[in-house]
Amino acid sequence: MTIALAYEQHRPMLFGLAYRMLGIVADAEDVVQDVFAQYMQTDAGEIANEKAYLAKMTANRCINLLKSSRRRRETYVGEWLPEPLPAGERDIDPAERRESIGYAYLVLLQRLTPLERAVYVLKEALGFEYADVSRMLERTETSCRKTLSRAKAKIGDAAAAQPAGGREDAKERFIDTFLRASDTGNFRPLLALLLDDVVLVSDGGGKARAAIRPIFGIKRVLAFFEGLAAKGSFREGFERMDLNGEPGLALRNEEGVVTKVMCAEWEPGGSRIRRLYIVVNPDKLTRVI
């Protein structure tokens, strides 16, 4: 297979792998480009499994990048959230489960070490066998199994597949309810869709006003939204926007530039929200148009 054909065939899978691991679109794009630049220098005839070889290069490059950026994450102002991926920005392999690229899923991956993240994504999202994963990461199969077990324990039940029935209606109901609430300033109807112990996390990165720490509890989250609405922060009006394969919300300024996006994490098997994620860091909104 020529490099051009290999790029066309495997790029969506490799981008999905890198984006899940890194949480930043530009970084994921750079990794994929670097991998193919390096691949052009190899003898493809000596590679038995091209897909696994490219995935190995991508995963290990992401691990190295995550390790090198650890200090930047530690000094980041406030909470760090992944960059949202608007619909149509990048094609993810259609064979992959949609929820495995969902925004809440990406946030959960941030709890994992670089190695745990690589094992989890390669095995759970991309479906590689343990034998493949062990060769890619130069670990034993036993080590990979233990690493995956640790990763699942850290993530918990929130990474489970989306339950059938009712969830899509609940998502749309949340969008409609929040749109009306932001227009009227009355956020009381939103309470029925939030867990009592709901948590709101916002990411401004020190470049836009945001809550430095998470906001805990339904009363404080309600007060947060009511306070912003009273200050006129929502006067331009939110709009529905597909983000990471799911319905989300976006707010534009007077110039039409998106300044805020919001995504939700739902309770497993239920129809209420347990976490809300708001991204206002302008560096993470450049692709949301």
Higher-confidence position of 173 and 89: 173
Our CA angle for 138, 97, 54, nearest 5°, is 35
At 162 the pLDDT is 43
Q: What is the mean pLDDT of residues 134-162?
A: 86
> Which residue matches tokens 């995935």?
55
What string of H, E and C letters represents the secondary structure of the chain?
A: CCHHHHHHHHHHHHHHHHHHHHCCHHHHHHHHHHHHHHHCCCCHHHCCCHHHHHHHHHHHHHHHHHHHCHHHHHCCCCCCCCCCCECCCCCCCCCCCHHHHCHHHHHHHCCCCHHHHHHHHHHHHCCCCHHHHHHHHCCCHHHHHHHHHHHHHHHHHHHCCCCCCCHHHHHHHHHHHHHHHHHHCCCHHHHHHEEEEEEEEEECCCCCCCCCCCEECHHHHHHHHHHHHHCCCCCCCEEEEEECCEEEEEEECCCCCEEEEEEEEECCCCCCEEEEEEECCHHHCCCCC
Query: What average pLDDT score do residues 100-122 get?
Result: 92
Segment 111-125 shows an average pLDDT of 95
**How confident is the model at residue 89, as a pLDDT?**
55
Whole-prediction pTM? 0.90
Determine which of 38-52, 142-156, 201-215 has the lowest per-residue pLDDT on average.
38-52
Residue 54: predicted pLDDT: 95
Mean pLDDT value of segment 203-221: 95
Q: What is the pLDDT of residue 163?
A: 41
Tens digits of residue pLDDT in 3-33: 778 878 899 999 999 999 999 999 999 999 9
Burial class (CB in 10 A: 0-12, 13-18, 19+), 213: exposed
30: tokens are: 């750079």
pLDDT of residue 161: 42
